[in-house]
Homo-oligomer: A and B are copies of this chain.
């Protein structure tokens, strides 16, 4: 084990260079024009798995973006770890708010800035490097390792969902190891035991058959923007509760034990608000910020557009307006059912004077991980060894819908070994990743491969 740790420490700079090369590929999964770069990123991953010494590496074509599979099964009788990650990234707009170009990684202080740095390229590469360290120094890994790396995480993981269903034997394992969540705070080893699910919708309101002059027609025709705003305003009540009938059915109450556990985290709402640049937090009445983001569902407009959106003034009564609206779900809520409730409610809210089209863009299940599973306990010990501190257990507000699928189809508990930080601007300009956590992550991964083999 000492050799492995030394190898990791000696190759620190090389690993960072490799991460930089990975980050230079603009693999934005939601843009049709990124197809070539998506392919490049998949090939980059396959290449790294080969170099690490995996005995089989394969790129599987799908209806969407390719999946990269790798395996090293040289430890018969030992457990098998399936490592999951994604090579696709979020769009970069608003591009003008980036301090350095999103696909030209730049190190400032201990942080590397680029789209995908923390979500998920940096976090995913960690595990390829720990495996490499074992194979290059000892010629073997203490247990069996499989990799499945996808390119559609940011758009709903559809192809992987299908692949898992059709390849349960290929992916057979004793746990799924995933680094795509966050540390509770800088330098604090953290395991996540709960994730919210997601249901993403688009609502389009169409009024007149063309953009109209707002002087000639203003006051006589329902304005699609005003109508859409009215609909959105009715999705929450004055206590911040979501008003969709049936939305909270099956949402479990937060247990006393969990509430007490959250209190131990000494979360500061004041510091949180200050860091985000707002004068106060805001959310569902009767819950703390931690509870609101981890254990309660939410509904947010992710985008809205309609009419004239250039500089200056244009006196137009627009033909249509569109909003992207997503809901974060907690265990107990079914994405498909929530989608139906949403559609029915919006239809009810829409006045006769406009046409409303509601599309279900994608959804994913929430997940809860049993904390006492051997893999989870091994991960807690591994992180403690790497970080030199006791591992804390948290939930996270974000969604990795595939986690629920892994758990359900492969019937194993996932280990959510997050290495990012919530403050690292994932999904926004100036995304970054702390390179100290990159290094501690590789060590944690190596310790885990050892601990879980015992």
Contacts and interface: CB of A to CB of B under 8 A. Distances in A.
Contacts of A318: 301-303
Given A156-B313, A217-B293, A312-B30, A301 B428 contact: no
Give the interface residue-count category, chain A.
Answer: 35 or more
B314 A276 contact: no
Contacts of A277: 208-210
A425 B213 CA distance: 8
Interface string A388-427: 0000000011110000000000000000000000100111
Contacts of A30: 310-314
Contacts of A223: 300-301
A118 to B, nearest CB: 10
A236 B226 contact: yes
A119 to B, nearest CB: 8
Contact of A219 (B228, B232, B310, B397): B397
Interface in A293-318: 293, 296-318
Interface stretch (A60-68, A139-147, A244-252, A322-330): A322-330
A328 B219 contact: yes
Interface in A188-216: 196, 198, 200, 207-216
Interface in A81-105: 90-91, 93-94, 97
B315 A307 contact: no
B233 A229 contact: yes
A368 B342 CA distance: 48
Contacts of A354: 278
A78 to B, nearest CB: 35
A361 interface: yes
Contact of A301 (B93, B198, B209, B226): B226
Contact of A297 (B209, B219, B232, B236): B219
Contact of A397 (B217, B226, B300, B307): B217
A230 interface: yes
A396 B397 CA distance: 53
Contacts of A213: 398, 422, 426-428
B230 A313 contact: no
A281 interface: yes
B210 A97 contact: yes
Interface in A339-387: 351-354, 361-362
A331 to B, nearest CB: 15
Contact of A398 (B94, B216, B310, B324): B216
A324 B303 contact: no
Given A215-B328, A328-B218, A226 B278 contact: no
A198 B432 CA distance: 46
A122 interface: no
A225 interface: yes
A315 B233 CA distance: 19
Interface string A39-67: 00000000000000000000000000000
Contacts of A311: 30-32
Contacts of A229: 228-233, 301, 304
Given A209-B277, A216-B422, A225-B301, 5 more contacts: A211-B428, A212-B427, A280-B353, A302-B317, A315-B326
Closest 9 CB pairs of A and B: A215-B398, A219-B298, A209-B277, A211-B428, A233-B233, A303-B307, A225-B301, A229-B232, A303-B308
23 contacts: A30-B313, A31-B311, A31-B312, A91-B314, A154-B314, A200-B313, A208-B277, A210-B276, A210-B425, A213-B426, A215-B328, A216-B293, A219-B283, A220-B272, A226-B235, A229-B232, A301-B321, A302-B315, A303-B318, A304-B304, A304-B321, A305-B309, A316-B428
Interface of A: 30-32, 90-91, 93-94, 97, 154-156, 182, 196, 198, 200, 207-223, 225-226, 228-236, 272, 276-284, 289, 292-293, 296-319, 321-324, 326, 328, 351-354, 361-362, 396-399, 422, 425-430
